Structure 1
Amino acid sequence: MSCWTLLGLPPTVDTRTIKRHYARLLKQTRPDEDPQGFQQLREAYEQALDQAHWLSSEDDLETPPQTTAADDWPALQQQPQQSPAQRVAPLLEGIRIDQLDQRHQQAIDTDCLLEFELGLLRHCVERPKQSVQLLAWAFATFHWLSAWQRLELPDYLLEALLQGCRQALEQPLFEALQQQDGAAFVQHYAQRSQHVWLNSLDQRQWFNQRLVVLLLDSPYWLTEVFEAVCACQGWQAGDDNACPALEWERLLARHEAPQFIARQQALAAEPLATAEQRAAYLLLAPISFSRRRAFARRLRSDDWASCRQLSSRLHANHPEVSAGMPGGTAFFWRDWEFAFDAWPMYLGIIIASLVGAFARYAPQASSLEEIIGVALFWSACFAAFAALLWWLWQPLAHRLWARDQQLSSRLPHWLDRQCDVLILQDLLPAVLLGAVLGYFCGAVSGATYLLVLLGISIGRRRELKVRAPWEQADPWQRRLLIGLGCMVLVAALSAIKLASNYGTVTANQGLQQWSERLCARMPIDASECAVPATVEQWYGKEDGR
């Protein structure tokens, strides 16, 4: 079947007739209803245009030039030919909505319809606020942004028009969500039928996706907005859901946010027997930032996994709750997961061992090096014992957290307020290790260990500075502390060296003994060493001297 048969036109028609007839056929063959027929019609249209252009060029070559009589030349000079752009300029000047039909017909009569449409398109793109009514008329007349629009229109102007139309549709919806005005959103959403360019399948899909993004990115959730959009967009549970699956789950999670937050707050108020309850307590319990940090020191790997899961859900689906957390983020605890929280135990062991060594060996006139050596040896032994105790006891105490809370509630109120201790996790291991230190190193050593832990616990109760975990602290503070620590260490080593040099000399220290002589090893009543003994007898001459 030839292109002319498919179009229903004779092969002798011009390009203008082909385009008009093609526009009428497009109204009968829509691409969304009959895509195969539309494709055949499109191919026939392009072939007919090519043949018409080819026949037109041949006619121009075969037609002999016509001569003009000399008498007619002045008349031709008086009637100069105008280009289509020149003919359409008066039609576009000061154009109004009530003049569009008349000027449109004038453009058709003067054979400058393409230039008229192009000028009107450029006017609407450059002056969008003054062209609302003109644009509505042009959409109905020229079918812009549809499958029936003119092919000769520049792509950059059509793209600019599409972006402007999308922004005009989306901006009121975005502002209504920012102002938490659900009624305004529903009102603007109901006016979407006035945007005839949305009749295209591609544009409807774009609008559906933009609605999903607007609702998910909004910090405020409006139930009436979600229900209205679901009813009109076909968002529903099931296989025929028009909303993408992943986005639909997130939308449902935000829709059920009040119930979810209420459940998590209820978990935070219950005894902390499970990892989910401990994660809810760390993130949602109404406690201070310092108390959160103290609580986080007791968490283990399963607790941190629950914290990551809960924080991710709060960050994605409940931005208003995350904004009210420390640092304005649900991941304020991120640096705490890998922090070394057992250092007070090892610091207390070192100080207690040093105090115990001084208390035991200083009265015996032992040197400073000996006392420090003993303290280091004790510290290594007790640190190994403490690490083993921590590795064996903490998992058991962690599983008994709920029981531990019940027992710890009987402690004096001032102790819980100042130190925030639990009997099984904190108090019992500390007392056991202090008793071991007191048994082997003396009572003063055990008491020192407990006092160090008590002082660190009280010091930790100070209010910490709230900041996001990814904010960098001032580097000069850390460098200053490192420098001071190095200076203190150098000063301490120098003091130990000086003290050892000027210490009391014991019986086995000092100068070496004199060489043993003959009479020094003989009995006092030996005849050869009787008084007066000669010098040679006591101090014989050295060999070779």
Structure 2
Amino acid sequence: MDCWSVLGAPQDADEREIKRSYARQLKRVRPDADAEAFQRLREAYERALQLARWRTTEAVGEVQQPAADNLRQWSDLVELAPSPLPSHEPMPVLAPVLRSLQYGLDADNLPQRWRQAQEQDCTEPFLKHLLAICCDAPGRHLALIEWAVANLDWLTPWQRPSMTALQEGVLVQGLLQQYRRVLEELLVAGRERPFLERLGGYCAQPWLQIFDHRQSWQGEVLELLHQQSWQAPVFEGVCQLFGWDEKRGVTPEPDWMWRALAERYQQEAFYQKLEADAANNADTTPQAAAARLFLTPPSRRHQVALARHFESEHWQACLELSHTLASRFPALVERLPHHDLLFWRSLVPRLLSVDNWIRCSLGSGLALGLYFMPKPGYSPELALMLGLVCSAMLGVLGILLLSNWQQLIGHLLLPDLWLTERLVPKRLNPRCYWLILRHGVPQLVMLALFGFWLGLLGMLGYLGFTLIGWLHSGRIGQANPRFHARHPWLGALHWNHFSPWQPVYLLLMVVLVRACQVHGLGFPLTRLIPG
């Protein structure tokens, strides 16, 4: 496939049409998506430019030649042909001197040879020879080209000697590729300050102030930044050197590559701020504490130590940071020690829920009522009333005990997490919210109380009711926040907090316990102590 087919341009296209076709193709072919296709497009673009410039040069020569032949024919017709000028023999010293100046020309002897050419009055042929060898193999004579650019104003309006568009394109492309290789080596090595200094030196050269040359140079730097990794200050420095500013509408082409770099810059700037906040131990703000927690190595000991004194605003900062990373900068997740952005939820203290304790108190009252019913002298109404009074007293005592338990278990969070991760299946506890010691010990106490009051059926009733509520996510309707705010105690007992299977199971167990008590089926069904 030739270069014109790759570019999608006609074979007689000029330089402007070729550049427009190249810009159109860049919107479809991206180096990050298909590197080989992008390389073929780039080579086709350079080849097409060379052919267009060569065609322009040939066309100029063809136009001039017929004019000279036509003038000679008219001069012959009117017998005004100029008489031949007398031939002059060349100076015998010029050819040997010029050959000596041209032989073995390299970057080391070029300044001296140039001075000698000026002294011998043969600067024009010497410069033409210099231009010829530079255009013939620009890769081998980059040092010669750089010297000529610096000392002879090459690639500027004041260049000597004059050169064709093809020659100028060859020299420009060779220099730009050399500059890019130097900058790429610095960027890969992580030498950001030398990179910006060298880039600033290149941009200050007179030949890169020419509009076309500067546009080509900006394209090379843009591609380099798109292909390599860098820190946010590098992008800021490049934008400052080239004057790129999206607010003022000054952005390079192609636009999709600029957009991708701008997004990468925002990502890098955010990550650097995150690192700075994490490294500044003197900063006690919730955002800095969240940054330290997210960038801490995945060690439970360090995580627990950092989160030990977190308050509600610190956990809110963790939630906001997780949301920002997931929605705006998902690529940064791979660079974090924790790929799970919600890892911190396992460290959040599970405070005492008043609603859950109200339900436990009511369940305890029902269990105590059933416990007192078979006792002699207790009617069912008196037994239930006595059970509710005793459960209220147990509820107050339980709140005091659980408050102290929460403070005590906070110092054992590390072994609690270790046990939970190894004993509880991940599918049942995906965010590690329920902990073995923090929640398991109070549940075992409640289970023991129900067993003491109602035997194995009491334990089975409490355990089954709890497991149904935990495993079955369906609920009877939706909670009413206004009603719950006005009547917190009644709101905690509202039927929409329970699974539809829980009241059915509870009724079944109450009937079963009462039937066993009536028929005298005691140990071990309704009591654990025989007799």
Q: TM-score, normalised by structure 2?
A: 0.37
Q: TM-score, normalised by structure 1?
A: 0.36
